Amino acid sequence: MIQRILKIRGLRHFSLAIVSAFAWLPYSGVARAQDDLQILSRIAFGSCAKQTDPCPIWETIADYQPELTLLLGDNVYADILDGRLKPATPQRIADAYATLAKDPGFARLRSCSPIMAVWDDHDYGNNDSGVEWEHKRPAAELFHDFFGTPADSPLRKQAGVYQARIFGPPGKRTQIILLDTRFFRSPLEKGTAPLPGFRALPYVPNTKPDATILGEAQWKWLEEQLRLPAEIRIIGSSIQVVSSEHPFEKWDNFPLERSRLFELIQRTAASGVVILSGDRHLGEISLEPLAVGYPLYDITASGLNQATQGWREVEPNQFRVAALPYGNHFGTVEIDWSSAVPLIKLQLRHEDGEIAVQTRVPLDVLTARPPSLPRPAGVLSVAEVLLVDEGAAVQVQFAVRGARAVSGDRWLLNSEIDFRNSRNFTAVLNRGGRSSLPPNASPDSLIGKTIRVNGNISLYNGSKQIQIDTESQWEIVSESGVGDGER
């Protein structure tokens, strides 16, 4: 917007110098290896702000004085008309942004903090929509107009509104990667019966091999980004990455894409990744301990003014480590670069700015180890083996996340912490398969190790497993659980 004004005044050739002089200007989001020498130590983020409802939290965020604010989608609700969901027109999207621009709290935040944004479905213009949305191109133009993307930015020509920037000098770099989970996303698949405790029909895994969330161009770009040097990498995704059990929108509706993301982080040895997400009208911190070889946090801040107001039962989420299941809120990431090992504080804050939940993560905990043992050709991941028919002979490799002894002198080695998870695969280690283990070995001693198993797929209570009866059917290929290349 500022650049347009400058252009009108014939001052365009001064615009670059002026843009770098005023830190409050909206960032263009053009990805370069080293965008800005500013060290980030206070980042605010959030999602789900209905422009027609009061939103006092904009003032609270402005009071927090973030060095950068990340808006993770549903930044306006353009697809609601007369209180009902109705696909937006470009005019209604423009009107929704115009209403948000007039909000004094938002205007104040915009004047004191740079903002980087990505969209979700309601600002994209159509509830739960993806690649098929007819107005996605005008919606992208309106998005860029509102967030001040310069007219000559490559982002204006790119399909999809994904973007990235790196802040800070070597040793103190924070990379911001915002993913577009809408523009390329394949259609969702609906189940036929509600899950217990939910009214709506659930989305069920779309496992078609060509089904995608990011699309190939964005995947290629993401790999390039993850290979750039940075100490901390904040990946913003409008929908949750780690939480996998609720029936709504989430990465696990495309389990092969979720696996691909985890594998990509491992393969690029990208350290310091933290996921920020939105969409769910609740706040929570999820932690996937093994998927990328180090603890992967996903902090969901959803409800700048749309969170459920009364107490809300927490949803099933085996990865949840902290919950803020009601009340409007925003998230903050604080980075203390002064300690010997930089400390990251992941926080959710109430509408008045008070910290509701917090977890502290020393940066060295998020250290990538290159995948030591990638899967050889023909060895399947869990996501792949779950698609194989009963009776088929396969080889599968996975990290053991849960293990226990059951009657019949069998050890169940599970790919999920909770064996009831629909994404779980089990290797049943019978006595005949345990002869080479030390006498004091227990099921627990195998947790965290990566195993490769061969045998025929069988079914137990609808879950897929392989029975291991001889030593030749399995081996431990990594003691660390890193490099399992699966999920």
Q: At 379, which helix (H) or strand (E)?
A: strand 379-380
Write down the least CB distance from residue 122 to Fe ion, Å: 6
Write down the least CB distance from residue 291 to Fe ion, Å: 23
C-alpha pair distances (Å), 101 with each of 52, 73, 109, 226, 292: 11, 16, 11, 33, 39
C-alpha pair distances (Å), 205 with each of 218, 326, 336, 425: 21, 27, 39, 16
Site for Fe ion, residues 373 to 392, rule: CB under 5 A: none
Residue 31 or 76 having the CB closest to Fe ion: 76
Residue 36 or 120 having the CB closest to Fe ion: 120
Residue 121 or 486 having the CB closest to Fe ion: 121
Instruction: Write the DSSP symbol of residue 288.
Output: E
**Contact assessment for residue 208 and residue 185, using Cβ atoms and an 8 Å cutoff:** no
Residue with tokens 């803020």: 324
The string over 95-120, giving b where at least 16 C-beta atoms fall within 10 Å of a residue's C-beta and e elsewhere, is bbbeebeebebbeebbebbbbbbbbb
Coil, strand, or helix at residue 418? coil
Residue 57 or 394 having the CB closest to Fe ion: 57
Return the range that interacts with Fe ion (CB under 5 A); candidates 3-11, 276-284, 360-368, 427-435.
276-284
Q: Of 74, 123, 245, 288, which one interacts with Fe ion (CB under 5 A)? A: 74
- How far apart are alpha carbons 19 and 29 in whole angstroms? 13
Residue 238 or 424 having the CB closest to Fe ion: 238
- How far apart are alpha carbons 288 and 241 in whole angstroms? 10
Residue 130 or 485 having the CB closest to Fe ion: 130
Number of residues that bind Fe ion (CB under 5 A): 4
Q: At 233, which helix (H) or strand (E)?
A: strand 232-237
Told to check if 180 binds Fe ion by CB under 5 A, we report: no
Return the range that interacts with Fe ion (CB under 5 A); candidates 79-87, 218-226, 279-287, 445-453.
279-287
Q: What pairing do the DSSP bridges indicate for beta strands 355-362 and 393-399?
A: unpaired
DSSP 49-60: --TTS--THHHH
For residue 121, give both structure tokens.
Answer: 């479905």
CA-nearest of 460, 470, 274, 451 to 375 is 451
Write down the least CB distance from residue 74 to Fe ion, Å: 5
Q: Of 123, 231, 279, 416, which one interacts with Fe ion (CB under 5 A)? A: 279
Site for Fe ion, residues 280 to 339, rule: CB under 5 A: none
Cβ neighbours for 216, distance < 8 A, ≥ 6 positions apart: none
Write down the least CB distance from residue 22 to Fe ion, Å: 32
- How far apart are alpha carbons 213 and 179 in whole angstroms? 10
Told to check if 121 binds Fe ion by CB under 5 A, we report: yes
Told to check if 79 binds Fe ion by CB under 5 A, we report: no
Write down the least CB distance from residue 279 to Fe ion, Å: 4
Residue 245 or 279 having the CB closest to Fe ion: 279
Write down the least CB distance from residue 333 to Fe ion, Å: 21
CA-nearest of 253, 247, 239 to 180 is 239
Write down the least CB distance from residue 317 to Fe ion, Å: 17
Return the range that interacts with Fe ion (CB under 5 A); candidates 52-60, 112-120, 185-193, 254-262.
112-120
Torsion, Cα 82 108 285 257, to 10 degrees, reads 70
Write down the least CB distance from residue 26 to Fe ion, Å: 22
Write down the least CB distance from residue 149 to Fe ion, Å: 22
Residue 174 or 244 having the CB closest to Fe ion: 244
Site for Fe ion, residues 426 to 445, rule: CB under 5 A: none
The string over 396-421, giving b where at least 16 C-beta atoms fall within 10 Å of a residue's C-beta and e elsewhere, is bbbbbbbbeeeeeebbbbbbbeebeb
Return the range that interacts with Fe ion (CB under 5 A); candidates 120-128, 191-199, 288-296, 310-318.
120-128
Return the range that interacts with Fe ion (CB under 5 A); candidates 52-60, 109-117, 118-126, 383-391.
118-126
Q: Of 35, 103, 120, 351, which one interacts with Fe ion (CB under 5 A)? A: 120
Residue 277 or 421 having the CB closest to Fe ion: 277
Write down the least CB distance from residue 123 to Fe ion, Å: 9
C-alpha pair distances (Å), 216 with each of 220, 222, 319: 6, 10, 28
Q: Which residues are near Fe ion by CB under 5 A? A: 74, 120-121, 279
